[in-house]
């Protein structure tokens, strides 16, 4: 009977795999799953948000215009009623549901921009208004934003954004900055297909109101010409509503039957406020 202690293989208890490789593989796997869940939640958030009735949305928001501080522009107070009347005419042409009321706000924001936010509020900045070569172009802008409201795009963006913020908060473990981040999300640009749909609705509205869709594409040319000589910055409207060649082509095609001579463009009826 012998007592001995031969060398025992310790590697038995320690796995061979390279820890770093395994870690990266795990990380990739988990990241993929998180992304898939985030994408699903994003879509679900948008869809769910659209189910909220517009009446509820506007009662939540009330008179608040989310996403920008609305300050009255300049000294002229006859622009806003003009915009409101034009918007109402276009809304009627687009057959908006009765519960949707569009309120147009005219403000000064330092850059040419227009957007639709929750509750049927549409904001047009003085800088954009000033640049409009014709009422048709202006109507294009308004009709486009009304189309967003009609399609419930603002609240859908909020819902999708909220889902993403939730996923982000869960992953990073922080929930502090959620609320302010959510409020700003409404102003983000939409996807190409959303923009294309809004364009189509707007073109239809122009046709119904003016009899033709001329003047719509000029909007983008005019804005593109506003590129800052030094910084090269483009008006904000172009960053939230990307004007790629396809988009302009579609607008030109929509106006293909427009006869510039027999159907002259309507000029902007109220001059812009003298900005600061």
Partner 1 sequence: MEGLIQIGIFVVLLAVGWFAGRAAEKRHFRELAKLEASLRDILVFNERRLPPGGRFSRTTLVVGSVVIAEDYFKRVAAGLRGLVGGRITVYESLLDRGRREAIVRMKQEARELGATMIMNVRLETASMSEDQSGRAPMFSAEFIAYGTALVPDRRS
Partner 2 sequence: MELTTLETVPGKTITRHLGLVQGSTVRSKHAGKDILAGLKNFVGGELKSYTALLNESRNEAIERMVAQAQAVGANAVVNIRFSTSNIAAGAAEVMAYGTAVVLS
172 binds, among partner 2, partner 1, none (CB under 5 to 8 A by kind): partner 1
CA distance 82 to 118: 22
Question: Which residue lies nearer to partner 2 by CB, 6 or 62?
Answer: 6
Token digits for 113? 């921009």
Question: Which residue lies nearer to partner 1 by CB, 23 or 47?
Answer: 23
For residue 48, the minimal CB distance to partner 1 (Å) is 26
Q: Cβ contacts of residue 176 below 8 Å, gap of 6+? A: none
231 binds, among partner 2, partner 1, none (CB under 5 to 8 A by kind): none
19 binds, among partner 1, partner 2, none (CB under 5 to 8 A by kind): partner 1
For residue 14, the minimal CB distance to partner 2 (Å) is 10
Complete edge-to-edge strand list for the sheet that includes strand 103-107:
103-107, 121-125, 114-117
Q: How many angstroms separate the first and last alpha carbons of the chain? A: 104
139-151 burial by CB neighbour count: b if 16+ within 10 A, else e?
A: bbbbbbbbbbbbb
CA distance 101 to 273: 25
CA distance 186 to 2: 81
For residue 273, the minimal CB distance to partner 2 (Å) is 58
Binding footprint of partner 1, residue count (CB under 8 A): 19
CA distance 273 to 131: 12
Among 75, 172, 193, 231, binds partner 1 (CB under 8 A): 172
Q: Cβ contacts of residue 37 below 8 Å, gap of 6+? A: 167
For residue 10, the minimal CB distance to partner 2 (Å) is 8
Positions in the binding site for partner 2 (CB under 8 A): 1-9, 12-13
Residues 8-27 that bind partner 1 (CB under 8 A): 10, 13-15, 17, 19-20, 22-23, 26-27
| Residues at the site binding partner 1, with contacts judged by CB under 8 A | 1, 3-5, 10, 13-15, 17, 19-20, 22-23, 26-27, 29-30, 172-173
């Amino acid at each position: 009977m012998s007592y001995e202690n031969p060398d025992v293989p310790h590697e038995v208890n320690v796995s061979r795999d390279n820890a770093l490789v395994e870690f990266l593989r795990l990380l990739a796997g988990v990241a993929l799953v998180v992304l898939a869940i985030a994408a699903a939640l994003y879509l679900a958030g948008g869809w769910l948000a659209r189910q909220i009735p517009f009446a509820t949305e506007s009662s939540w928001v009330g008179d608040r215009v989310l996403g920008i501080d609305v300050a009255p522009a300049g000294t002229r107070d006859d622009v806003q009623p003009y915009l409101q009347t034009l918007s109402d005419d276009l809304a009627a042409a687009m057959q908006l549901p009765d519960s949707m009321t569009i309120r147009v706000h005219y403000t000064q924001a330092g850059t040419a921009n227009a957007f639709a936010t929750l509750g049927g509020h549409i904001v047009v900045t003085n800088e954009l208004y000033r640049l409009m070569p014709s009422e048709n172009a202006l109507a294009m802008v308004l009709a486009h934003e009304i189309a967003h409201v009609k399609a419930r795009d603002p609240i859908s963006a909020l819902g999708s954004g909220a889902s993403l913020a939730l996923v982000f908060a869960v992953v990073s473990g922080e929930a502090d900055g959620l609320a302010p981040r959510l409020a700003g999300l409404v102003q983000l640009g939409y996807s190409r297909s959303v923009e294309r749909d809004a364009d189509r609705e707007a073109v239809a509205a122009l046709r119904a109101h003016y009899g033709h869709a001329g003047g719509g594409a000029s909007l983008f040319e005019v804005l593109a010409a506003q590129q800052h000589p030094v910084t090269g910055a483009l008006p904000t409207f172009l960053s939230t509503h990307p004007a790629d060649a396809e988009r302009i082509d579609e607008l030109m095609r929509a106006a293909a039957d427009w006869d510039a001579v027999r159907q002259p463009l309507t000029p902007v009826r109220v001059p812009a406020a003298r900005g600061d």
